[in-house]
Structure 1
Amino acid sequence: MADRPLIGVSTYLETARWGVWELEAALLPAGYPRLVQAAGGVAAMLPPDEPAYAAGVVARLDGVVIAGGPDVDPSRYGAERDARCGPEARARDSWELALIEAALASGTPLLGICRGMQLLNVALGGTLVQHIDGHVEAVGVFGRHVVRPVPGSLCAGVVGGEVSVPTYHHQAVGRLGAGLVASAFAEDGTVEAVELSGAGWALGVQWHPEMGTDLKVMRSLTTTATAT
């Protein structure tokens, strides 16, 4: 059996409790590594680190996933903080933006999930809408809604036509970053996927494939990672 591609997945950095301990921990919901593994890859956790190390880390990987999580600091895209914007995660912002830049520079296949899609947009000079309604079913509960890929896009080639996806977010892409195109939309017009308009495999999805059973998005990443 051929070696499985090594897929790095960024992590949370939070205070957590297990057993008798309550400590700061690098966390990753199990759905992420399980999805990578089910799609034929090996998952490696990438907790926040010095941004200067990102290029060296990405050089050892076959693919990169930027996971979901906290809101992006609005100062990263030149906006004032809305009262409804969540707490800052500065270490994640710095590290994950560096990972994105390194992946794009090296042509390493890159997938952004929820926050990861938003960071991809910010990394390329785009902006975010700091609050939208209707995309959170209840606090701490993933909902579902339909997304419609743009015909002829990478996203459409990966997921096919209209599809129901797991979702949980209150922010969205505003102005698109340089070189990005919107490649899927929700019924209310919210951008649900972005991708590079040129060569290379770089895709951001606003939904959470790790919370479902559909392997198409992750399998496309791992297949591309194997081939590059």
Structure 2
Amino acid sequence: MTQPLIGVSTYLDRASWGVWQLPAALLPEGYPRLVQRAGGLAAMLPPDDPARAASVVARLDGLVVAGGPDVEPVRYGAEPDPRTGPAARERDGWELALIDTALESGTPLLGICRGMQLLNVALGGTLVQHLDGHAKAVGVFGEHAVTPVPGTLYASLVPEESSVPTYHHQAVDRLGEGLVVSAHAGDGTVEAVELPGTSWVLGVQWHPEMGEDVRVMAGLVRAAS
């Protein structure tokens, strides 16, 4: 059986390798490795003209919107909190266009951390701009338990409470239209959302690419097959 092609959004940033220090399209290795371990073929999607999103998504079997910088608060009608990071406008515009296109076309979609937050914003939701306790330290992933909501897509993939790698300081506040919560952290933070319906749409607040559990990505790859 042909491996489904899974597009993963990426950063544009400066990077250093060998003798080079140049602008680069970046994606932490864990993302393509997780796609591969789950049985998919990974393709990097660096920021591009949002008008091209439809033609890009049309070539994919599934889409992953990866983690990264804070979503610019203007996208959900809020003023920036002093603790909100610098805007990544090019990436916001590109990834929101990818999400909109995937939702319109029924392309299986997985949002990871920032990707889940963007999914919520794309559907009219808002974000909490700062909370404590979901990252161990700057640049260091933490870990905490996540509890699934029975009867959800996420619970069908991971039916038990599980410990997940986490690094974020923002989270879902008001849910976007049609979304339902499918997992919580112990402090009540929304840890997964999904869009019930005919297509496969799931967002998780943690970073499965930093762990060993492939079940969430395997669910996307099956839906994309």
Q: Report TM bin, short chain.
A: over 0.9
Summarize deviations over 1:121-171 as a string: whole Å, max 9, x none.
000000000000010111111111000110000010011121111100000
- Matched with 2:106 is 107
Summarize deviations over 1:11-47 as a string: whole Å, max 9, x none.
0111111122211111000000000000000000000
- Matched with 1:31 is 30
- Matched with 1:181 is 180
Q: Given that residues 147 and 184 in structure 1 are in contact (C-alpha distance below 8 angstroms), is that contact kept between their aligned partners in structure 2?
A: yes
User: What are structure 1's unaligned runs of at least 5 residues?
Assistant: none
TM normalised by structure 1 equals: 0.98
- Matched with 2:170 is 171
Question: Distance between the aligned counterparts of 1:158 and 1:79, measured in 2?
Answer: 34
Partner of 1:4: helix, strand, or coil?
Answer: coil
- Matched with 2:199 is 200
Partner of 1:183: helix, strand, or coil?
Answer: strand
- Matched with 2:76 is 77
Displacement of 1:76 in angstroms is: 0.2
Displacement of 1:213 in angstroms is: 0.7
Query: For residues 94-133 of structure 1, what are the structure 2 equivalents within 5 Å?
Result: 94-133=93-132
The percentage of counterpart residues that share the same residue type is: 74
AA at the equivalent of 2:90: A
- Matched with 2:2 is 3
TM normalised by structure 2 equals: 0.99
- Matched with 2:160 is 161
Q: Given that residues 195 and 203 in structure 1 are in contact (C-alpha distance below 8 angstroms), is that contact kept between their aligned partners in structure 2?
A: yes
Question: Distance between the aligned counterparts of 1:6 and 1:63, measured in 2?
Answer: 6
Partner of 1:65: helix, strand, or coil?
Answer: strand
Question: Distance between the aligned counterparts of 2:93 and 2:152, measured in 1?
Answer: 29
Q: Given that residues 179 and 198 in structure 1 are in contact (C-alpha distance below 8 angstroms), is that contact kept between their aligned partners in structure 2?
A: no
Question: Distance between the aligned counterparts of 1:75 and 1:23, measured in 2?
Answer: 30
Displacement of 1:4 in angstroms is: 0.2
Question: Distance between the aligned counterparts of 1:58 and 1:96, measured in 2?
Answer: 11
AA at the equivalent of 2:179: L
Q: Say whether 1:60 aligns with 2:59.
A: yes
* RMSD of Structure 2 on Structure 1 (CA): 0.6
Question: Distance between the aligned counterparts of 2:128 and 2:196, measured in 1?
Answer: 22
Partner of 2:28: helix, strand, or coil?
Answer: coil
AA at the equivalent of 2:142: G
Which runs of 4 or more aligned residues in structure 1 lie more than 4 Å from their structure 2 counterparts after TM superposition? Answer: none
AA at the equivalent of 2:75: R
Partner of 2:87: helix, strand, or coil?
Answer: coil
Q: Given that residues 6 and 44 in structure 1 are in contact (C-alpha distance below 8 angstroms), is that contact kept between their aligned partners in structure 2?
A: yes
Question: Distance between the aligned counterparts of 1:192 and 1:215, measured in 2?
Answer: 17
Question: How many equivalent residue pairs?
Answer: 225
Q: Say whether 1:15 aligns with 2:14.
A: yes
AA at the equivalent of 2:115: G
Q: Given that residues 39 and 215 in structure 1 are in contact (C-alpha distance below 8 angstroms), is that contact kept between their aligned partners in structure 2?
A: yes
Question: Distance between the aligned counterparts of 1:78 and 1:22, measured in 2?
Answer: 37
AA at the equivalent of 1:22: Q
AA at the equivalent of 1:199: T
Q: Say whether 1:145 aligns with 2:144.
A: yes
Question: Distance between the aligned counterparts of 1:172 and 1:178, measured in 2?
Answer: 16
Question: Distance between the aligned counterparts of 2:7 and 2:154, measured in 1?
Answer: 21
Question: Distance between the aligned counterparts of 2:146 and 2:120, measured in 1?
Answer: 19
